Structure 1
């Protein structure tokens, strides 16, 4: 298995002004209150990377605070790829066997039937565990929230036998976060800060609402019967859902994470944070989808895999309470695009389709 490496590019420089106009037109058309767009292209032949950013609208329609390129939005389930990356780091260090039953690491784990004796981290990262994925139980704000969440999974049904098919599973990623906690001796939040946020230089990325409050933070909006978006009644999901979807970040910070994967596991300063083979394995086909025309055509370790105009894309979408995010990487061209939004008809204004057309 080899690392994904960007091919040479002779494209013209990214026209940031064009993408600002494009974002303005699309966001206005689809009633998006606020948005942030980022486009990254790796430098080739010794040239520096290119980064173009654009912002539109407001962070909160009730206050009118403007969205800017340094505003943070909830990235939702794109968080799952970050959780998967930390799991692969632990595998690189010999602390985690992706194919070993989780019961070896979590002897107290109880799942329906004998699932705890069979389910592995690979099952969790590829959504093939069969655990009911729609369990959003709030287990509190304490540092033990994931431990409490893992304990309640004993009451959760299996929707299919382990490995038999694919079913999207938020619960599995919460459990994966608990495994990370057991292996690192701290919280999932701390593991993300120490292993990704700090070494990547992400100064506006966090996992908790009190961290988002330190920056210009987007507020979710829901569309009413009149078609107009209004502020969502709740800002975020329970902390127990952290590993499945609670990162908040700027577009540039999300692209710094994407760069790690475009370069086969390297930070911008050349520090290796993930083995090249592990970065490649995350992008490789790991599981087939029952319907390859809805989310993607297959799944990696955390990543969704897409075919696009004859090329291979990897990426992920994220949806929280009135916020939506979209990340796409085109590894062959060393290109990544992210769109962060706080409401409106975001499916028609996302990076992989309307923005790039």
Structure 2
């Protein structure tokens, strides 16, 4: 998902928008504002009041985020209070969005897959806690742990796969192909490397595998199972796992972040339990109604009441105050916007479309929205405004009481961690003056301890450490929106056997050891790192892509490689790479800009001056690059890049460091 903004007070903004269009009665307040004050403490009750709230809200946020069209559905107490469209499904053709406009709902699909799996569990055909291989028709899952992988783990985003996005492929060409799940899964199989159930990682492959289990157990293709057992019982006649001609004709056009028209992507395989469902506002209203009515819609009971409740109850938490996932694909991010309510949410993002569903079980209220832009920011604005308007915080939040952390107790927390989904996101913890200090690629933070395992930063964001099966601190979850920390737990990085040819006192040793632990650069031969050896352009490119951290996400690989090579006069995989060529490739991926004026000495090719200047000014230099007496810096641009130097540059550019770093 995209980065999200800090919480804003949107309620005042939308009240102002109402004031501009409403008549003003004798007491000085507009009629719509009076309606807001009268009903907002009881939740949504009346369609006219909801529209008075939503109309200016959508006008403002759609303009703000370059969104051309959106639907909006509100359901309460078994009734659909609002089901309408805003703006254009196709701005070029001036086609308005209405309740029958089709959108790709992306990862909201996961909640439907969760429903289907729980449905089969209700029928005794799947045991959520049995080895998932039991339901895969002989397919084997590589597993380096001693714990079995279950359907429960898949549905709670805790399977422990090394590459959770390894099977995530998207392209316009896939919309016209029929690619079965089985062979695709076999060709893109990850490995279980963490004990299932131990760590939360947003996982696309887990839901793809869950969908295949549904297909195998039911004896029918996934899309047929969903049509027969989910969509038809709910009367969702405009919802499908696959793209049909009729639904494609009603599909909203797809637009990029700036509002530009973009082609529609489809995923591989063709049936995508992790994200391929398309639907309408009218159909999503039926789905929300079923969820709120404990699995029942009309005379159809899709899942038992107990199972329906379980689907909307958090099963995985970082701390009791930090919910993470249910056993139905729902999540708990942005819990600070819930205003003390139990809220489960699920967002979905595909190229040019974005969706969100929000369910508030105790208030028997839910809403959904889909729009033709991929920014997640608009949906979060609407979520915040909806909760502040209808379910405002009624309790004064108590300020936490902090506990002093002594240095010895801090030892179990300190160290380097890496996000279990987004490998580019690394964080290092150290100790100072009774607090934990965190340095990550997006900045530095100070944490005070509330209780053992639970900390709070200077902005009030919570961070919870988690223990592994041995009782050791192994993970943390940070609910800050900064840097995508909220998408997954981060795992502690443990050192590996040191190289035999890297001296203990080497000024490059720390960089080499970190890249070794992160599997970015390993031995060149046997147990030898060969720090003084040169590298080919291909060898450096491979290490750079791993350091960059997006190598486990297939849909980014080709574009990342193109970006890496931008501006190079040539790329010869077998040629020895120079320091300036490496600098250009690093700058391309890191997108560094000069942080200060730097005077370069020595010779640097004109095509590399900007890159070298950017790296030097940001402190991305090796220990042998120093400031001369006259203030100039010689990057040794045309010299071959040595392996130890590559380790230093890659660690500083893509490690946990907040740039710029001091230049010595």
CA distance in 1: counterparts of 2:235 and 2:262, whole angstroms: 31
Contact 1:77 1:318 in 2 (8 A): yes
Which structure has more RCO (C-alpha within 8 Å, separation ≥ 6)? 1
CA distance in 2: counterparts of 1:330 and 1:211, whole angstroms: 35
Cα distance change of structure 1 residues 317 and 188 upon mapping to structure 2, 3 Å threshold: same
Aligned to 1:272: 301
Aligned to 1:58: 88
Aligned to 1:4: none
Q: What aligned pairs does 1:170-185 form with structure 2 within 5 A after superposition? A: 170-185=204-219
Cα distance change of structure 1 residues 115 and 259 upon mapping to structure 2, 3 Å threshold: farther
Aligned counterpart in structure 2 of residue 120 of structure 1, from 150, 153, 158: 150
Cα distance change of structure 1 residues 10 and 353 upon mapping to structure 2, 3 Å threshold: closer
**Correspondence 1:352 to 2:386:** no
Cα distance change of structure 1 residues 163 and 214 upon mapping to structure 2, 3 Å threshold: closer
**Pair member with larger Rg:** 2
Aligned to 2:289: 259
Q: Which structure 1 segments of 5+ residues have no match? A: 1-8, 44-48
**Correspondence 1:13 to 2:42:** no
Instruction: Tell me by how many angstroms 1:286 deviates.
Output: 1.4
Aligned counterpart in structure 2 of residue 236 of structure 1, from 266, 273, 288: 266
Contact 1:222 1:232 in 2 (8 A): yes
CA distance in 1: counterparts of 2:113 and 2:358, whole angstroms: 17
Q: Which structure 2 segments of 5+ residues have no match? A: 1-41, 389-664
**Correspondence 1:151 to 2:181:** no
Cα distance change of structure 1 residues 203 and 280 upon mapping to structure 2, 3 Å threshold: same
CA RMSD of aligned residues (A): 2.7
Cα distance change of structure 1 residues 260 and 116 upon mapping to structure 2, 3 Å threshold: farther
Instruction: Tell me by how many angstroms 1:273 deviates.
Output: 1.2
CA distance in 1: counterparts of 2:194 and 2:147, whole angstroms: 16
Does the residue aligned with 1:113 lie in a helix, a strand or coil? coil
Contact 2:144 2:193 in 1 (8 A): no
**Correspondence 1:133 to 2:133:** no
Instruction: Tell me by how many angstroms 1:315 deviates.
Output: 2.0
CA distance in 2: counterparts of 1:159 and 1:63, whole angstroms: 50
CA distance in 2: counterparts of 1:63 and 1:163, whole angstroms: 49
Does the residue aligned with 1:89 lie in a helix, a strand or coil? helix
Does the residue aligned with 2:108 lie in a helix, a strand or coil? helix
Cα distance change of structure 1 residues 356 and 72 upon mapping to structure 2, 3 Å threshold: farther
Q: How many residues align?
A: 335
Aligned to 2:229: 195
Contact 2:179 2:270 in 1 (8 A): no
Q: TM-score, normalised by structure 2?
A: 0.47
Cα distance change of structure 1 residues 246 and 337 upon mapping to structure 2, 3 Å threshold: same
Aligned counterpart in structure 2 of residue 37 of structure 1, from 53, 72, 77: 72
**Correspondence 1:311 to 2:341:** yes
Cα distance change of structure 1 residues 239 and 144 upon mapping to structure 2, 3 Å threshold: closer
Instruction: Tell me by how many angstroms 1:215 deviates.
Output: 4.8
CA distance in 2: counterparts of 1:327 and 1:184, whole angstroms: 28
**Correspondence 1:160 to 2:191:** no
CA distance in 2: counterparts of 1:114 and 1:240, whole angstroms: 30
Aligned to 2:601: none
CA distance in 1: counterparts of 2:375 and 2:43, whole angstroms: 34
Instruction: Tell me by how many angstroms 1:235 deviates.
Output: 3.3
**Correspondence 1:110 to 2:144:** no
Contact 1:76 1:245 in 2 (8 A): yes
Cα distance change of structure 1 residues 211 and 78 upon mapping to structure 2, 3 Å threshold: farther
Q: TM-score, normalised by structure 1?
A: 0.85
Does the residue aligned with 1:311 lie in a helix, a strand or coil? coil
Cα distance change of structure 1 residues 38 and 66 upon mapping to structure 2, 3 Å threshold: same
Contact 2:292 2:364 in 1 (8 A): yes
Aligned to 1:338: 368
